[in-house]
Amino acid sequence: MSAIAGRVADFLNQYPPFNYLAYEDLTAIAKAIRVVSIEKNKTLFQINDTLHDSFYVVASGVVNLMVVSDAEESLLNKCYPGDIFGLRPFFAKNNYMMTAKAREESIVYAIPINAFRPYLAKNSDVLNFFLESFASNTKNPEESRRNLMSDNVSYNESPAEMQYFQTLSYNKAPLKVSPAAIIKDCAQQMTDNMMDSVIVTAQNHPIGIVTDMDLRTKVATGRYPITVTVDRIMSSPVITVPENVSLAEAQLLLLKNNVSHLCVTQDGSEKSEIKGVISQRDLVVAQASNPGVLIKEIKKSKTPADLRSVRGKLTDLIQASLQKNIPLTHVNNISGEITLAIVRRSVELAILDLGSPPARFAWLSIGSQGRKEQLLLTDQDSILVFEDVAAEKYRDVKNYFLNLAKKVTGTLEYVGYAPCPNGHMASNMLWCKSVSDWIKQYQGWMMRPGDGNDIASIFFDYEIAFGEQKIEEAITDAIFTDVLKRTSFFDYLGNDALRKPPPLTFFKKFYVEEEGENRDRFDIKTRALMPLIDGARLLVLGQNIRGINNTYQRYKQLAMEEPRRAEVYLNCAEAFLTLSKFRALEGLKYDHSGQFINLEELSKTDREKLKNALAPLKELEELIKDKFRLTQFS
C-alpha cells in the first residue's frame, strides 16, 4: 500500500495545487485515495446525481465533462492526466450540474474531501488555487495548462454560480460579552435579541464565540451549570474574515473548519476590531440574490416595481463581482442574461395587458443591450419586427405593436433604463415594422449610407429578447447576403469608426473635456470604447461573421479567422475589457453612466493602466485603413 501511495504522490506532485504541499502531506493524502477505473463511454457521475464524497484527478485516459444545452448534451471540457474535476462538493450542496464520461478507458484518483480539507486550512496557496480557479471558471492561475476543470458551468448554463462571488450581507451589530459574563445572562441576552450567537471579546478583539449549539450541547446536557462564566463553554479561537468576504470564501471556511459562524473583523485577523458575524443562515439568505434566483423572480414579476427591485439587486451583484475581480466577460454575460430576462418579462406583461398579438413578432434589443455590454443603467435601445401581413391588416397590426412597445419601453424606463435620446426604440413608429420593411431598411442603409438616410450602426448589434427566432434569422440572412456587395457601406462605416476623436495628444496626454459640467474629465465612451466597438462591428461584417454581437467575442473570433493579425485583435479584446471595467467602476461609484472619468481620482498606476489600454487603438486604426483601403475621411 505504501509503494502505491508513493507512486500516486509522485504523480500528483507534478501538478498544481498538489505541488504546493509538503511531500509528506501529499503522501498522507495519497494513502486515502481510491483508484477508480472507468470503461470507455461510462460515466463517473451524471447531471443531478447526488454529490460524491471525493473530487477527482485524471491519472490516465481522457474524461469529458458534459452539460445539457438546448436539450442536447454538449462538451464543456476534456480532462487529461493531471486535470482535476468534480469539485462541486467543496462549493455547493446541490447535485452535480454536469456529467463526467470517459472518452476512452481511463483511470482516475478519487481524493476524499474530508482527507484533503485540512490541507486547505493550513496552505493558503492551495486554497487560493481552488478559489481562483473556481472564480475564473476552469482557468488555471498558473496559465501553463488547464489543470482544474471546475464544476462551475459556463454563464449560459448556470448563472446561479455567480452567487459564489457575491459579497455577503451579515449581522453588523453582533452581541458581545466579556469572558467573565455568566452563561445564564448571556443566554437571556441572546433570547431577548433573537440572535443565535454572541462574541466573547477582550479589548474589542474576538477571543471566542458562544452559539445556540454550545448552549444545547454543553449546558442543556448538564456538562456545565448556567451559573459559570462563558469562557468555560466558548469555542476558541474564532475563525475571522475580512469585511469584503465573498460567499465562496465564507462557505469554504465554514466547511473546512467545521464551524457555524465566522467573525468579521476590520482586517480579517483576530487582532483587529470586530465588525460583525456571519452565520450559516446568512449564506442561505444570500442565495436569494444570486442570478438564478433573480431570473426566477423576474419570471414571477407582476408589476414594473417588481422588475425594478430585481434590477437593483443586479447592480449590487455587478458591483460585488467587480470588487472581487471576477472576469468581466463572465459578469457581462450574467448581466446580459438578466437584462434580457427583464426585457422579456416587460413584453410579457404588456401582452397580458393588451391581449394576444395579432401576428408573430420579435423584440430585439440593440446597442449595448444587444451586445450584452450594459453593466450600468444606461439608456434603452430596441426595435420590433412583426411578420408580413395582408395590406389591409397592416395598419391595425402595427398600431397594436406600437401600443405594446410603448408599454414595454415605459416599464423599462420605470425599471431604470432611460429612453434613448435619439429615439432608437420600438415605440418609435420608424423602428416598429414588418420583416419586409425592415429588410428594405437594412438594404437601404447598406446601399446608400449617409445619403439622406442616416445610418445608426447600433442597429447592426442586436439580440432577440422575446418572440420568433426565425424573424431575427430573416433579418440576419438579409444583412449578410447583401453586405459584402456594398463597398460604399464599408467606406461609410470605416470612416465613421476612424472619425472618433483621439484619446491622447501628441505628447501622450489624455484629451479631456475643455468646458461644461464634465470639464477636465476623460470621455472614455467616445474616445476609447466606441472606436473599439465600431471597429469590431465593421470587421465582423467585412468577414461575414454572423451570430457574434459582443465586442470582446468579436475580436476573439477575428483572431481565429485571421491568425496573421491575431495579435492586434487580441490586444483590442483585452483593451476593451480594461476600458469597460474603468467605465463600470466609475458609473457604479457615482451612480451615472460612467462616460466621463475623473483622472485626478485615479492612482498613478491606474492612469498608466488606462493609458496602456489605449495603445491598441492606433494599431486598429491602421488595420482598418489597410483592410478597407481608406485613405481619406469625410
**8-state DSSP, 18:** G
> Residue 68 has what pLDDT?
66
Residues 299-346 pLDDT 10s: 889 999 999 999 988 888 888 778 766 778 878 878 888 899 999 999
Q: Find residue 109's DSSP bridge partners.
A: 35, 57
Give yes or no: residues 392 and 306 share one domain: yes
- pTM for this structure? 0.61
Residues 392-433 pLDDT 10s: 999 999 999 999 999 999 999 999 999 999 899 999 999 999
411: amino acid identity, one letter: T
Residue 295: partners with Cβ closer than 8 Å, 6 or more residues away = 159, 337, 338, 341
Q: Which of 25, 242, 23, 1 is nearest to 121 (CA)?
A: 25
Residue 120 clears pLDDT 60, i.e. is over it: yes
Residues 56-106 pLDDT 10s: 999 999 998 887 654 556 677 788 898 888 887 776 666 787 899 998 899
Residue 169 clears pLDDT 90, i.e. is over it: no
Give yes or no: residues 208 and 336 share one domain: no
Residues 526-557 pLDDT 10s: 999 999 999 999 999 999 898 889 999 999 99
> Residue 490 has what pLDDT?
86
Confidence label for 256 from pLDDT (cuts 50, 70 and 90): low
Domain contains 633: no
Distance from C-alpha of 282 to C-alpha of 340, rounded to nearest angstrom = 29
Distance from C-alpha of 439 to C-alpha of 405, rounded to nearest angstrom = 20
> Residue 487 has what pLDDT?
79
Cβ neighbours around 512 below 10 Å, total: 17
Q: What percent of the chain has pLDDT over 70?
A: 87
Residue 149 clears pLDDT 70, i.e. is over it: no
Give yes or no: residues 269 and 300 share one domain: no
SS3 627: helix
Domain contains 319: yes
Domain contains 170: no
Question: What's the total number of domains in the chain?
Answer: 4
> Residue 500 has what pLDDT?
79
User: With helix as H, strand as E and coil as C, how does 570-596 read?
Assistant: HHHHHHHHHHHHHHHHHHHHHCCCCCE
> Residue 508 has what pLDDT?
82
**Strand 432-434 to strand 197-202: parallel, antiparallel, or no bridges (unpaired)?**
unpaired
The count of residues in the chain is 634
CA 591 → CA 37, 243, 306, 583, 586, distances in Å? 55, 23, 21, 11, 8
Give yes or no: residues 210 and 268 share one domain: yes
How many Cα atoms within 13 Å fall on the side-chain side of residue 259? 24
CA 87 → CA 116, 143, 245, 321, 610, distances in Å? 12, 19, 21, 21, 36
Residue 134 clears pLDDT 80, i.e. is over it: no
Q: Please, what sign has the CA dihedral across residues 197, 200, 206, 209? A: negative
Print the domain residue range for 60. Answer: 2-154
Distance from C-alpha of 375 to C-alpha of 328, rounded to nearest angstrom = 10
Domain contains 225: yes
Domain contains 459: yes
> Residue 166 has what pLDDT?
53
Residues 61-70 pLDDT 10s: 999 888 765 4
Residues 172-218 pLDDT 10s: 999 999 999 999 999 999 999 989 999 999 988 999 999 998 999 89
Give yes or no: residues 348 and 275 share one domain: no
Domain contains 604: yes
Residue 33 clears pLDDT 70, i.e. is over it: yes
> Residue 156 has what pLDDT?
35
Confidence label for 454 from pLDDT (cuts 50, 70 and 90): low
Last residue of some domain: 154, 189, 212?
154
Last residue of some domain: 264, 288, 312?
288
Domain contains 456: yes
Last residue of some domain: 238, 268, 288?
288
* N-to-C CA span, the chain: 78
Confidence label for 147 from pLDDT (cuts 50, 70 and 90): very low
Domain contains 159: no
Buried b (16+ CB within 10 A) or exposed e, 581-609: bbbbbbbbeeeeebbbbeeeebeeeeeee
Distance from C-alpha of 411 to C-alpha of 96, rounded to nearest angstrom = 38
Q: Which of 53, 50, 58 is nearest to 77 (CA)?
A: 58
Distance from C-alpha of 518 to C-alpha of 596, rounded to nearest angstrom = 7
Distance from C-alpha of 79 to C-alpha of 62, rounded to nearest angstrom = 6
Give yes or no: residues 268 and 244 share one domain: yes
Residues 506-525 pLDDT 10s: 778 899 999 999 999 999 99
Give yes or no: residues 181 and 306 share one domain: no
Residue 163: partners with Cβ closer than 8 Å, 6 or more residues away = 247, 286, 287, 289, 290, 291, 292
Mean pLDDT (the chain) is 85
